[in-house]
Chains A and B, each alone.
Chain A
Amino acid sequence: MIATVVQLITRRLLAAIPILLVVSALLFGVLRLLPIDPAAMSLPPTATIAEVEAKRREMGLDRSLPEQYLIWLRDALHGDFGRSIALRRDAGSLVAATLPATIELAVAAMAIAALLGVGGGLLMFHLRGTLFEAVADFASILLLSIPEFLWGLILLFVFGVALQLLPFTGEVAPGLPLPHMTGFLLLDALLVGRFDVFLSACQHLILPAFALGLAFSPTIMRVLRSSLFDVYHEDYIQQARLRGLSEGKILLGHALKNASLPTLTLAGVQFGILFSGTLLVEVIYSYPGMGNLMVDAVRNADLPLIQAIALTYCIVVLMINTAVDGLYVVLNPKLRVR
C-alpha cells in the first residue's frame, strides 16, 4: 500500500512540473498584455526618456517575450523572483513573509468547515424522512449562497461593529510583539511562551476563519448527506441488516467509512478553493497574508510580485490536490491493489 501511494505521489509531482511550467508561462504572457511600462513605473516621474530606456534594458524588457520568460525561469529556479516594483524588496522574501499567515488562516478555516460540515451533514441525514428535512435542505441552499466575502462582511458588521465582541483588523492587537521563529504566529507565540500574544492572535483569527469556514461548510454538509443516502441504498447495508446488525453499528461501522470517500475528495478540492478564498477575507480583515499582498500588487500592477504570488498559490493548491489523491488511495482499497 505504501508503495502505491508513494508511486502515485511521485507521478503526480512529476506531472505537476509541466503544469507549473505552462502555468507560469501563461501568467507571464497574460501580464505582458498590460499596456504599462514597468520600467517607467520604477523610476520617478522626472526621469528622462534615456533613463527609462536604460532601465528597460536593465530589466531586460527589450528582449523578446520567450527570452524574457526563460530568463525569469532561470532566476526563479535559483529562488530569485525579481524585485517588487512598488515595495522595492525581493519578491520571494515578501511572499515567504506572508505565506505562513495565510496558511494559518486556511488551516483554521478548514477545521471549522470540516467540523460544521460533518456535523451538519450527519444532522441532515438524521432528519431524513421528517418534516425538518425540507427545512434543513432549504437552509443549506441559502447558506451555500453566501460566498466567503459576504460572510466576512456580515461577521465583521455583526460581531465587530455592532456587537463589538471581536477584533476585525490585523493579526494581533497593536502593540504586542511578533515573535518570529517558524513564521507561524500561533506556533511562535506558544514556543516563546507569550500566551497573551497567542490569545490575541486567536481572537483575531476567529472572525476571518469563521467567515471562510461558514462559506465552505454547506458544500461538505450536502455531499456527506447525499453520500450517506447513496450508501444506504447499497446492497451491503441491507445485507448487514439481515445479519442482525443494529442501525448504529451500520452507520458508524459501515456507512460512514464508505460515505467519507466522496466527501473527503470533495473536501480536498474545497480546500484548494478555500485557500484561494483567503485572499478576499484577508482584504476585508486587513489580515497580513498573501492575499492582501496580492491585491496591493494588482492595484499597483507590480508584475514580478504578482507572478511570484500567483505561482505560490498554484503550487500550494497543486500540493493539496496531490495530498488528497494520495489520501484517497489510502482509504479506498479498490484503488490500492492492482
Chain B
Amino acid sequence: MLALQAKGLTVTARIDGDDVPAIRALSFDLAPGKILGLVGESGAGKSMVGRSIAQLLPAGFMIAAGSLLFEGEDLVRMAPARRRGLLGRAIAFIPQAPMTALNPVRTIGAQFDEHLARFGEAGRKQRRERALAMLAAARLPQAGDLLGQYPHQLSGGMCQRVLIAFAFASNPRLVIADEPTTALDVTMHPQILRLIAEMQRRHGTAVIFITHDLRLAAQLCDDVIVMYAGRAVESGPARAVLSKPAHPYTRCLQLANPSLRSERRALYVMPEQMPSLRQLRQMMGCHFAPRCPLAAEDCRRSEPPQIEIAAGRSVACIRAAATPGIATTRRATAVPDSSGRPVLQVEKLAKHYAIDRGLFTNARTFAAVKEASFNIAENEFVALVGESGSGKSTIAKLLVGLEQPSSGRILLNGEDLTDPSMRRGALRALSLQMVFQDPQSALNPRRRVTNIVTQAMEAGSRHASWEERQRRTSELLAEVGLSADFAARLPGQLSGGQRQRVNIARALQHSENPGCRRDRVGARRLDPGPAPQSFGAAARRARLRHAVYFPRPLGGAASLQPRAGDVSRRDRRAGTDRGGLRRSAACSHASAAVVGAAG
C-alpha cells in the first residue's frame, strides 16, 4: 500500500473574490520507504502540499478538489479529530526554521516529554530514556545535558537535529521535510541531509523532501517532481530528471545555479519572475511561456498536458524535445588582465568590540576582525567568503566607514581612509558605496524610487532640480535593467529582485563623477536564482570596475570570476588567493569545508 497518494489535488486561494488555484491537479504516488522531492522556486506551491497534508492551510486557502490518500484513507475527508491523531504520530514534520520551532520558555526535555506522552509512552523514566536514545541517534553529544537546556542555547544545526529526533521518535510512516536546510549555514547542509537519510533508512519511512535546491534533491531523493506556478511540470526518477531534464524550466534552473566544480560559464538569467497568484488569474496557456527560451505560439494558447516520455517520467511541455539545446556561453577561463596596480589596499585591519562593560568588571573585548589584509586591483572582483560570524559584515562596514577600525589601514588610491580628516568623508562617499544585504531594510519604504536612487542629491547643501533628478533616475534605472516607469513606485510595490536592482542603482549614483574610482562594496546574500545574475549583469553594465562582495552560496562567487579571499571563522583573518576558488594546500580547514559544502 502506498504511503501517500495524491490524486488531482487542487488547492485554491481567495484573491479579490476569485478562487485562484495555488496547486493544480497534483498527482503523485509515494511508496513506503521512498523519498520524493518537491523542487521549485519560492511561491511554486511546494509548501502548500505539506500544509494540505496537515490541513493547516492559511486563511483564504482551501482544498478545492482531489484527494490525499494516506495509507488508503483520504486525509481531505477525514474527521478532524482522527487527522489530528495522525499528526505527530504516523505523519511527522521537519520544519524550515529550527530556531523558532520550539517553545523558547520550556526546556527541550519538557517538550520532548510532552511529545512522547502523546503516543502512549508510559512513565516519565521510560520517556526520558527514549528521548535520550533518539537524541543519541541524531548524533547529539551530551544528550542528558541537552534535555535540560532551552532552545536558544543551541545552535541552528543542533536545533534541527533535535527536531529530526522529534519527528522520527514516533516511528512515523511519513515524514514531510519542508526545506530543512534553508535556514542553516551551508556547512550544515550535508550533515543534516545525511542524518535524514540515515533515519529514513532505519525507520523505513516515506519522506517528502521540499526544497528549492536541485542538487540537494538529486543527492537525497529517489523521485522528484519539479513544480512551477502550482503545477507539476516534470516528474520522474531524481537522477534522470536532473541529469537529463526534459522540461525547459528544469534545464534553466540547472543552468541558473552556479557550481564550483563545473566549467566556468555564464549563469543563465531567466527573465522576469514566476507569476504570482494574482497574475495567474489572467494568464492563458503555459505559465512558463513568458520566460521560456523555447516558447512558441502553441504554448501560449493552451496549457500543455502531462506527457509520459519514459517509464515513470512525465513532462508538461510540448517542446520538450528541444530542451537539451538550451545552453549558455562558456566563459573564457583566463582571468581578465588587470593592470596590477591596487586601487584599494587593506592592511592588517582589526576591529575589537568591548562587551560586558560594567562599573566593577573589566571590559572584555571581542575581536570581530583580526588582521585582515587584501588588495583590489583595477578591474578586479574580489569575493570574501566565510561562514556566518566570520567577520565579513564587519569588514564591509569598516571599508565604507560605518565603523572605525581599531587598528590597521585602508588605502584608497594611496590615500589613507583611516586618517581622521574632513575631506575623507566626501571622497569616500563618492568612491566607496555599499549594496546592502537585506532588501527589506535597505530601502526606505516611504521614498519613491526616484528619491532613492538620487538621494545623494539631497545631501549636504546640494540642491538639484526635479528635472535633473528625473534624468539621472532614468539613466540609473537603465543601467540596472529596469524600465523608466519604475521611477514613481514605492519599495512596497516592487518584487524582491526589483528591490535588489534599485539597491544597486542607489550605490551607483556617483558613478558619473569623472575621475573617481568606482569601488562597490556589496554585502550580498546571493540566493540562487535571479540575484547573482542581476548583480553581475548590473555590475557589468554599470562599468563597475572593481568590487568586493560576500556571497553566501559560494557558487555565485565563481560566476563573476573573482579572485577569492577567504575569511575563516576561527582565524578571522583574510587572506587572498589568486586564480579561482580551487583549494590550495595553504588554506585553512574551515574554508575547505565551506568550499566542499558548496559542491
Contacts and interface: CB of A to CB of B under 8 A. Distances in A.
Give the residue among A240, A244, A257, A333 with the most B Cβ atoms within 10 A. A244
30 contacts: A235-B97, A236-B100, A236-B101, A236-B103, A236-B104, A238-B56, A240-B103, A241-B56, A242-B54, A242-B56, A242-B95, A243-B88, A243-B93, A244-B84, A244-B85, A244-B89, A244-B118, A246-B84, A254-B103, A257-B103, A257-B105, A258-B104, A258-B105, A261-B105, A331-B105, A332-B105, A333-B107, A334-B105, A334-B150, A337-B153
A245 B95 CA distance: 16
A333 B88 contact: no
Closest 3 CB pairs of A and B: A244-B88, A244-B87, A243-B88
Contacts of A243: 87-88, 92-93, 115, 118, 166
Interface string B103-147: 111110000001100100000000000000000000000000000
Contacts of A236: 100-104
Interface of A: 234-236, 238-246, 249, 253-254, 257-258, 261, 331-334, 337
B114 A253 contact: yes
B90 to A, nearest CB: 10
Contacts of A254: 103, 106
Nearest to B53: A242
B590 interface: no
B25 interface: no
Contacts of B69: none
Contacts of A331: 105
Question: What's the dominant secondary structure at chain A's contact region?
Answer: helix
A261 B106 CA distance: 13
A243 B93 CA distance: 7
B582 interface: no
B220 interface: no
Most interface-central of B92, B101, B115, B118 (chain A CB within 10 A): B101
A235 B101 contact: yes
A291 B150 CA distance: 46
B85 to A, nearest CB: 7
Given A239-B101, A243-B88, A258-B104, 7 more contacts: A241-B56, A241-B87, A242-B54, A244-B86, A244-B89, A254-B103, A332-B105
A239 B105 contact: no
Contacts of A258: 103-105
B152 interface: yes
A334 B93 contact: no
Contacts of B87: 241-244
Interface string B150-178: 10110000000000001000000000000
A254 B87 CA distance: 18
Given A235-B97, A235-B100, A238-B56, A245 B118 contact: yes
Nearest to A250: B103
A257 B105 CA distance: 7
Contacts of B88: 242-245
Contact of B100 (A234, A249, A332): A234
A257 B106 CA distance: 9
Nearest to A338: B356
A255 B93 CA distance: 20
A241 B86 CA distance: 11
Contacts of A261: 105
Contact of A333 (B56, B92, B150): B150
Contacts of B103: 236, 240, 254, 257-258
Nearest to A258: B105
B96 to A, nearest CB: 9
Nearest to B107: A333
A244 B114 CA distance: 11
Contact of B152 (A234, A239, A257, A334): A334
B72 to A, nearest CB: 20
B553 to A, nearest CB: 24
Contacts of A242: 54, 56, 87-88, 93, 95
Contacts of B97: 235
Contacts of A239: 93, 95, 101-102
Nearest to A237: B103
A47 to B, nearest CB: 52
Contacts of A332: 105
Among A235, A236, A243, A245, max chain B CB count under 10 A is at A243
Contacts of B100: 234-236
A58 B85 CA distance: 84
A333 B148 CA distance: 11
A117 B101 CA distance: 30
A13 to B, nearest CB: 14
Given A241-B56, A243-B88, A246-B84, A235 B106 contact: no
